[in-house]
Amino acid sequence: MAETVVADALRGMAAAHPELAVDVENRVIIRGDAPVAGKVALVSGGGSGHEPLHGGFVGPGMLSAACPGEVFTSPVPDQMVRAAAAVDSGAGVLFIVKNYTGDVLNFDMAAELAEDEGIQVAKVLVNDDVAVTDSLYTAGRRGTGATLFVEKLAGAAAEEGMPLERVEAIARQVNENSRSFGVALSACSTPAKGSPTFDLPAGELELGVGIHGEPGRERRAMMTSREIADYTVDVILQDLDPSDPVLVLVNGMGATPLLELYGFNAEVQRVLREREVPVARTLVGNYVTSLDMAGASVTLCQVDQEMLRLWDAPVRTAGLRWGM
Amino acid sequence: MAETVVADALRGMAAAHPELAVDVENRVIIRGDAPVAGKVALVSGGGSGHEPLHGGFVGPGMLSAACPGEVFTSPVPDQMVRAAAAVDSGAGVLFIVKNYTGDVLNFDMAAELAEDEGIQVAKVLVNDDVAVTDSLYTAGRRGTGATLFVEKLAGAAAEEGMPLERVEAIARQVNENSRSFGVALSACSTPAKGSPTFDLPAGELELGVGIHGEPGRERRAMMTSREIADYTVDVILQDLDPSDPVLVLVNGMGATPLLELYGFNAEVQRVLREREVPVARTLVGNYVTSLDMAGASVTLCQVDQEMLRLWDAPVRTAGLRWGM
């Protein structure tokens, strides 16, 4: 039911993941062994409906805690402060904030409150979506797929024992090196509304869509996977000129079959070869979703040797796991 | 495009997973280090459109190779023979076959052909779906979610070096100990057809749906997550009376948001508690999908200590990964 959808999901997550500490009442997902002595803690969060982001990225090698808001609605400062207090070992906490007005305001307030409680807090803003500047919910660029890269690389840095200022610098560098662009083939339906949140006629695409269905750059008649890849990678490369290899995320918005996502990845890789962009690693799947929206996004993140090592480092979360 | 959807996906999979050997032309996905000396090999396959099943389950600890057919269409014997020849170390090959008429016939023929080439072949049929007996494409029960458990547990047994007859016996036991039931909230659209493959009006559910949208037991007006969980677990437990703990798979059909799947899992776990069925492990996600169908299925698999150990054993595939 719409009123209980987030609490229900948290109960279901707790049942499936005994390695996590899920506080259903206060809406905080915490890695079970937190606080980890001497380790910088990472806290993120945002509106629900983008799963596995962020709760599915809590665990060794990635986030220390996540705060889910209502569907497509920012969590509140109290959740963030509670999370920070639960995971801080004394080494400080990094807040990872997607650039939406509500999230930014609430994490700012939470940082002040946490500092009042003696917790050292740093913040990094994720704003990788090149589709539009200023949008519904956002001043400046929106935060989308790069959030996964920021959480993974900064998470690995923290796990290695790097100090807060270094973890923060890496998170910032990952965001600066990342660009995303998304395409919708259908709208999504929120539990509260129960019907599509925006109108996208069958046979049309929204190029540059946001992860809440915010409008993009333009609407067009249906394009082939090949044409979408050409358009998407071109837009990204207008804004990013990678000299180093890139991490590639080909991300499903929720309702696009994995079969089609892999096919789309083949086209994305073709364009990257044509544009002579070397690819270090590729991840294909549903990671930063928009409920049941059909569509996909591409995120590129330029990486140096250290960043690549942090990407490859072990991670154990519900949504991303390797090496342990 | 519909004509190239499987080949496109294989090219995209090859690009994302350099650890796999993907033969795009002949449509076989093979773990990169095959054949592994002295190890029994596992080969599965079936129509495409159920990803990550089966190609996403190829790798150490699970399948040696997978053969994808066209969308919702059995692969051909030539693919299976080629896969068997590529992965057989001399220790024999187990074919894991979902119970659909085309798959059964083609794997039977492939087994004969492979044996003619001197490869020892055993077969296990997966038929866990309690919804209906005999169906579109199937005589007897359909094979659905239990395929994941069969491939994981038999894969772990093979990785431990067990001989073919033992791996086959474990696969058979997993199937016998497993039951599934699925519910659709929408139809799915195949690339070839481009529109829903069956008619399911908004606001109605198909109870007992198959993974190709085959009809189930009955159609009803929309039910709550709680009601669906009550119905689903009840139907399964009419056919399975577990004395040992169960593995639980709460599986998305493709287009159901992970947020809702976790909420559904909370209700499934509630019913299992009420029915005093002990739960050993729970997996929630999109694993045995039906393109963009909205819906979910539940699979229970009763496990003894050895089976639980095999479930927990390390696995490294695109779709399921832990411990390495």
Query: Do B139 and B186 lie in a common domain?
Result: no
Paired strand residues for A189: A196
Q: Which of B9, B264, B284 sits opposite A262 (nearest CB)?
A: B9
Query: Do B91 and B205 lie in a common domain?
Result: no
Place of tokens 């496990």: B303
**Which of the pair, A55 or A139, is modelled with greater confidence?**
A55
Q: Is the pLDDT of residue A14 over 80?
A: yes
Residues of chain B positioned with their CB less than 8 A from the CB of A51? 257-259, 262
How many structural domains are present in chain B? Answer: 2
Which residues does A253 contact at the CB level (< 8 Å), separation at least 6? A182, A184, A188, A211, A286, A289, A290, A293, A294, A295, A296, A297
Lowest mean pLDDT among A1-5, A295-299, B120-124: A1-5
Q: Work out the minimum CA distance from A152 to partner chain B, whole angstroms.
A: 17
Q: Work out the minimum CA distance from B140 to partner chain A, whole angstroms.
A: 28
Query: Do B126 and B186 lie in a common domain?
Result: no
Query: Do B84 and B191 lie in a common domain?
Result: no
Residues of chain A positioned with their CB less than 8 A from the CB of B259? 5-6, 9, 48-49, 51, 71, 291
- Asked if B9 lies within 8 A of A322 by C-beta distance, the reply is no
Domain assignment present for residue B324? The answer is no
Domain assignment present for residue B118? The answer is yes
- B59: domain CATH number? 3.40.50.10440
Query: Do B143 and B206 lie in a common domain?
Result: no
* Active-site residue flag, A54: no
Looking at residue A100, its amino acid is: Y
Residues of chain B positioned with their CB less than 8 A from the CB of A5? 259-260, 263
Query: Do B195 and B147 lie in a common domain?
Result: no
Query: Do B190 and B151 lie in a common domain?
Result: no
Q: What is the 3-state secondary structure (H, E, C) of A37-52?
A: CCCCEEEEEEEECCCC
Which two tokens mark B223? 């039910």
Report pLDDT for A112. 98
Domain assignment present for residue B322? The answer is no
- Asked if A256 lies within 8 A of B282 by C-beta distance, the reply is no
Inform me whether the C-beta atom of residue A271 falls under 8 Å from chain B C-beta atoms.
no
Domain boundary (B138, B153, B177) is at B177
CA-only gyration radius of chain B, Å = 18
* Straight-line distance from the first to the last Cα atom of chain A, in angstroms, rounded to the nearest whole number: 36
Residues of chain A positioned with their CB less than 8 A from the CB of B12? 250, 261-267, 269, 284
Domain boundary (B145, B177, B209) is at B177
Query: Do B145 and B249 lie in a common domain?
Result: no
Say how far residue A279 (Cα) sits from the centre of its chain: 20
In A51-106, the DSSP E strands lie at 65-71, 93-98
Query: Do B278 and B191 lie in a common domain?
Result: yes
> Chain B: residue nearest A17 by CA?
B282
Domain assignment present for residue B321? The answer is no
Which two tokens mark B310? 């095999």
Report pLDDT for A53. 98
- Three-class SS state of B19: coil
Full domain range(s) for residue B26: 2-177
| CB atoms inside a 10 Å sphere around CB B304 | 12
Inform me whether the C-beta atom of residue A1 falls under 8 Å from chain B C-beta atoms.
yes
Domain assignment present for residue B208? The answer is yes
List the one residue out of A176, A184, A305, A167 whose CA is nearest residue A256: A184
Domain assignment present for residue B319? The answer is no
Furthest-apart CA atoms within chain A: distance in Å? 55
Q: Are B213 and B255 in contact (CB under 8 A)?
A: no
Inform me whether the C-beta atom of residue A260 falls under 8 Å from chain B C-beta atoms.
yes
Query: Do B156 and B200 lie in a common domain?
Result: no
Domain boundary (B158, B177, B196) is at B177
> Chain A: residue nearest B291 by CA?
A257
Cβ burial of A118 (10 Å; 0-12, 13-18, 19+) is: exposed
Domain assignment present for residue B170? The answer is yes
- B192: domain CATH number? 3.30.1180.20
User: Of A125, A143, A212, A214, which one is the catalytic site residue?
Assistant: A212
Report pLDDT for B2. 76
pLDDT in tens, chain B (324 residues): 678 999 999 999 999 999 999 999 999 999 999 999 999 999 999 999 999 999 999 999 999 999 999 999 999 999 999 999 999 999 999 999 999 999 999 999 999 999 999 999 999 999 999 998 888 888 899 999 999 999 999 999 999 999 999 999 999 999 999 999 999 998 888 888 778 878 888 889 999 999 998 888 999 999 999 999 999 999 999 999 999 999 999 999 999 999 999 999 999 999 999 999 999 999 999 999 999 999 999 999 999 999 999 999 999 999 999 998
| A1 pLDDT tier (thresholds 50, 70, 90) | low
**Which of the pair, B74 or A133, is modelled with greater confidence?**
B74
Pairing outcome for strands B28-31 and A315-316? unpaired
Inform me whether the C-beta atom of residue A202 falls under 8 Å from chain B C-beta atoms.
no
Looking at residue B256, its amino acid is: T
ipTM above 0.90, yes or no: yes
Report pLDDT for B108. 98
Looking at residue A75, its amino acid is: P
Query: Do B88 and B112 lie in a common domain?
Result: yes
Which residues does A274 contact at the CB level (< 8 Å), separation at least 6? none
- Asked if B266 lies within 8 A of A56 by C-beta distance, the reply is no
Query: Do B6 and B140 lie in a common domain?
Result: yes
Domain assignment present for residue B323? The answer is no
